[in-house]
Amino acid sequence: MTALSIVVPCFNEEACLVVLHERLSRAARATVGDDYEIVLVNDGSRDNSWATMVQLSEGDSHLLAVNLSRNHGHQLALTAGLDLCRGDTILIVDADLQDPPELLTPMLETMQREAADVVYGVRRSRAGETAFKRATAHGFYRLLSRATEVDIPLDAGDFRLMSRRALDALLAMPEQARFIRGMVAWIGFRQVPFPYDRAERHAGETKYPISKMVRFALDALTGFSSAPLKLASHAGLLLSMSSLLLIAYIAYAWVAHRSIQGWTSLMLVVVVLGAIQMFVLALMGEYIGRLYNEAKGRPLYIVQEIAGRSRPARLGYLADATANKDKPGGNGTLPTK
């Protein structure tokens, strides 16, 4: 075990890695001395990120570089790093340096002062992001807060400091569609906010285009709330009430011997009903799709290779999500020695 682990998922971050390594190493030494490790997870990058990680690991015994077999996505790459890290305290940070590593010391001081298991970063400002991105993020967090049964903090990403017992509780949750900031909120324990100003990306471009943002939002919503399914019952109640009003109107027109003109209104009703039905079916499909993925029982990720002199203690067996779910690192498949 080490005092501190810093886990960083990376996808096409070649331009950031050298500076990232320098700043993480400096922040770790200033906080815990020499008792730390840095876990960089290459999530199927198409640039030279893996080669850069291997080169950095050759000159730093504190660095562990993990190469996944393909692009599994940010949340699963982060899960792989969390599975393999050995620290008593764990810092999660992105590779783009928007979340300053230098905040490690004050975050650890906050954890100790508040006797907390989780210190999560709350973004006061977001430098270098478009108005559209800020507006959609603002709306997403507030919608999620109102829709979910779990109290998920507003304006908080994955940037956080966690205790080992909080991490062990998190790793006991094996679901495929992972929304880690929500999962951490679900486990409970004492969790305190840490306000900070998010910096501009050091280099490269965002790895979350609109399509991925929408998918991420759906995973968050369907993973922590059944509210979308309740829309079907609400829509059915509303349509039933509307049907009663329509029946009353038709009866009145028949008694009063009034003709009902109605091709346009009929088509409007048909289109509206069809749209509502398709929307409800789409929502149900999202939940059924999640059940389908969970039922397959596949590993969350597959590790292709690991570089670095600091080998993880868990790298002694072949792990999968079913046979080894009671062991550390049991969420993915690792290469044997």
Segments making up each domain of the chain, as ranges: 2-225+298-307, 227-296
Q: What pLDDT score was predicted for residue 167?
A: 92
**Per-position pLDDT tens, the chain of length 337:** 788 999 999 888 888 888 889 999 988 888 888 889 999 999 888 888 898 988 888 888 889 989 998 888 888 888 888 989 888 899 999 888 888 888 889 999 899 899 999 998 888 776 655 666 666 666 666 666 666 666 777 777 788 899 999 999 988 887 777 888 888 888 888 999 988 887 765 555 555 556 666 666 666 666 666 666 666 666 666 766 666 666 676 676 667 766 556 656 666 677 667 777 777 777 777 777 777 676 777 788 888 888 886 555 444 333 333 333 444 445 666 554 4
Contact 99, 194 (CB under 8 A): no
List, for residues 237-270, the tens digit of each pLDDT value. 676 666 666 667 667 666 776 655 665 666 667 7
Task: Write out 271-331 in H/E/C secondary structure.
Answer: HHHHHHHHHHHHHHHHHHHHHHHHHHCCCCCEEEEEECCCCCCCCCCCCCCCCCCCCCCCC
Run of H or E residues at 172: none
Rounded-to-integer distance, Cα 335 and Cα 84, Å = 12
Q: What pLDDT score was predicted for residue 314?
A: 45
CATH 3.10.20.30 is held by the domain 2-225+298-307: no
Q: What pLDDT score was predicted for residue 91?
A: 94
List, for residues 78-119, the tens digit of each pLDDT value. 888 898 988 889 999 988 888 888 888 999 989 989 999 999
